[in-house]
Amino acid sequence: MVTINSSIVKKVFKKIKEYPEIIIARHVGPDPDAIASTIALRDSIRLTFPEKEVYAVGLGVSKFKYYGILDKIDNEQYKNALLIVLDVPNLNRVDGIEGLEYKEIMKIDHHPAEDIKGPVDWTDETSCSTCQMIAELILNTPLKLDTKIASNLYLGIVSDSDRFLLSYTTNKTFQVVHDLIKASKIDFVSLYNYLYDRSIDEVRFQGYIAMNMVVTENGLGYIVIPSDIIKEYHVDLATPANLINSFNFIRDVLVWTFITEDVKNKVYKVSIRSHGPVINEAASHYHGGGHKYASGARITSLEEIDAFIKELDDLCEEYKRASISNIEL
């Protein structure tokens, strides 16, 4: 069994036990980790405490329907509820809580902390995913697990760690996965289709990015994707972010970014990944944030795009210079 910081897990469980009404929310534009952690926690609380009212809120995404159905609630009716926020540190990026007057907020998240802070707050930047944290919670408290809950958590962990490739995959990740599989006997190989099944349009679009990505001398890979291209390839605005990890391990590319035009919202959606330079501070200069090596941002003008690209390119240059002087020492 995974050994963890049991005092915070106990506090989280105590809060869950205390409230008859619980609303669980996650970030806008959800990925598998956000969706799976929300639904898995809801289902585990319902299974353990059938008398409680527990809802997972936020806009549903049809391609993630395998994980389960999200709930529609009347936000004005839950003034005494506990709001549990998963996988997001900033209140303005929480989906589905407009007008909700909850009694208390509790965050469980693996991003660097920002403005959400309740009396009980569990932030673990060393965790590969929020699903890893929810699995730790369930495996170390009386919260119940079934095959579906375990499958959801497994998919969230595999997806957010990019199949255990990213640096925040740790021995604890493998231990949690081991315990999940042992406790629930999930047939994990059969689950991969839910993460990796994709259309030929998306594969062709990946080819478009590969053919058009610019790589600078300092090791920045970048591409600005106009909305026409999104239409032409029959993909959607979430597709570039879904594909960005496929551009890992390109020799001499230290940082790579996809900048996608969103005409409807008059904004460019930005995904950034890094092999070395820390990028979340640069992202924060452009209405963004995230992890040290995996961030996102929102850019509003072409001038800002130029400045953003220059900032990332400078980061690469600095990083290379520092690496060379370390070798020389």
- Buried b / exposed e over 261-284, threshold 16 CB at 10 Å, is beeeeebbbbbbbbbebebbebbe
Residue given tokens 């595999």 in the structure block:
158
Closer to ligand AMP by Cβ: residue 39 or 259: 259
297 belongs to the binding site for ligand AMP (CB under 6 A):
yes
32 belongs to the binding site for ligand AMP (CB under 6 A):
no
Stretches 129-137, 183-191, 228-236, 281-289: which one binds ligand AMP (CB under 6 A)? 281-289
8 A C-beta contact, residue 111 and residue 290: yes
The site for ligand AMP, by CB under 6 A, has a size of 17
Among 30, 58, 156, 296, binds ligand AMP (CB under 6 A): 296
Tokens encoding 92? 């303005």
298 belongs to the binding site for ligand AMP (CB under 6 A):
yes
Among 44, 123, 159, 295, binds ligand AMP (CB under 6 A): 295
Closer to ligand AMP by Cβ: residue 107 or 111: 111
Among 27, 42, 46, 107, binds ligand AMP (CB under 6 A): 27
289 belongs to the binding site for ligand AMP (CB under 6 A):
yes
Closer to ligand AMP by Cβ: residue 105 or 244: 244
8 A C-beta contact, residue 26 and residue 196: no
H-type alpha helices, the chain: 6-18, 32-48, 130-139, 147-160, 171-184, 192-196, 200-212, 227-232, 239-243, 280-284, 302-328
Tokens encoding 17? 């036990």
User: From CA 51, how far away is CA 63, in angstroms rounded?
Assistant: 31
107 belongs to the binding site for ligand AMP (CB under 6 A):
no
277 belongs to the binding site for ligand AMP (CB under 6 A):
no
User: From CA 143, how far away is CA 227, in angstroms rounded?
Assistant: 45
8 A C-beta contact, residue 320 and residue 265: no
Residue given tokens 């970030």 in the structure block:
27
40 belongs to the binding site for ligand AMP (CB under 6 A):
no
Of 131-160, binders to ligand AMP (CB under 6 A) are: none
Closest approach of ligand AMP to the CB of residue 157, in Å: 15
Contact set with ligand AMP (CB under 6 A): 27, 31, 93, 111, 241, 244, 271, 287-291, 294-298
